[in-house]
Amino acid sequence: MRQARSKGKCESQREEGYTRPGAGEFDAVAEHYDYLMRTVPYQRWVEYVEALMARHNIKADRVLDLCCGTGRVGSELARRGYRVVGVDLSEQMVRHCALRDPPLPAAVMDACCLGLKDDCLDLVVSLYDSLNYILDPAGLQACFDGVARCLKPGGWFIFDMNTTLALASGLFAHSNRGSGEDLEYEWRPSYNPVTKICKVDMVFFWRGAGGPKKYTEVHYQRAYKIGELRRMLLRAGFGHLRFYHAYSFGKPNPWSDRIFAVASASR
């Protein structure tokens, strides 16, 4: 990795008036993120990524876990023998990567201005709708451009995204209030079909070690149509694009709430 925080490109983007929303999201929840995600089948997700790799004959050694969060995906990939690093915008989330088994080397970095060496990776993976957090299409294009630059020629990019259906149909409406669990929460989503942005007001009540504590976060995700993603990926120089209904080899359909994209840096 060239540097822990990317600077030059981001600074010039700011000068051009580009701003990245979302800073601060995940900072409060970071401490309890792994507890919150304790039932998420990360191993099965990584198995699916490996199944996609086998299907597309992808061979990888050096891997980037883009928007790695607390490092669950990256650490699982490292356990399977890949040389993995992670980057994420939230310093609070990144701190947890060092505590994983195996630990995930990770840095605080904005996916929209990646400060990694050119041509240094075989595979970039970004899971759990992380890229929906990039609200500005110009930011997502900058992210795709950066990923294409960091990949070796012929390297691959695999990511998932929540679909419009997921964001518009209240997927984020969750509450376990009254459950008596250490962490109780209530999430209230509202979707704006004009901006395609889903705002989720989250309240958490922690009663475990060091508690009790109440905190709030507001998360924003944007829905991108497959056609939009296709155009952006092609513009970034990717080829061999395939989209899948999540966790299958079937095409996305009107009921897909999550899709996976597989793209080759075929420069």
| Chain residues that interact with ligand SAM, rule: CB under 6 A | 20, 22, 26, 67-69, 72-73, 88-90, 93, 110-112, 127-130, 133-134
The minimum distance between CB 26 and ligand SAM, in angstroms, equals: 4
Distances (CA, A) of 79 to 71, 74, 190: 12, 9, 38
User: Of the two residues 20 and 196, which places its CB atom closer to ligand SAM in the complex?
Assistant: 20
The minimum distance between CB 216 and ligand SAM, in angstroms, equals: 17
User: Of the two residues 79 and 207, which places its CB atom closer to ligand SAM in the complex?
Assistant: 79
Distances (CA, A) of 186 to 23, 200, 224: 21, 10, 26
The minimum distance between CB 81 and ligand SAM, in angstroms, equals: 20
3-state secondary structure of 74: helix
The minimum distance between CB 253 and ligand SAM, in angstroms, equals: 24
Q: How many helices (H) and strands (E) does the chain have?
A: 8, 11
User: Of the two residues 31 and 129, which places its CB atom closer to ligand SAM in the complex?
Assistant: 129
Beta strands in the chain (DSSP E): 62-66, 83-88, 106-108, 121-126, 151-162, 174-175, 183-192, 197-206, 213-222, 239-245, 258-264
**Strand pairing partners for 158?**
125, 262
Residue type, 199: K
**Closest residue to ligand SAM using C-beta atoms:** 69
The minimum distance between CB 265 and ligand SAM, in angstroms, equals: 19
- Rg (Cα) of the chain, in Å, rounded? 18
User: Of the two residues 67 and 78, which places its CB atom closer to ligand SAM in the complex?
Assistant: 67
User: Of the two residues 34 and 266, which places its CB atom closer to ligand SAM in the complex?
Assistant: 34
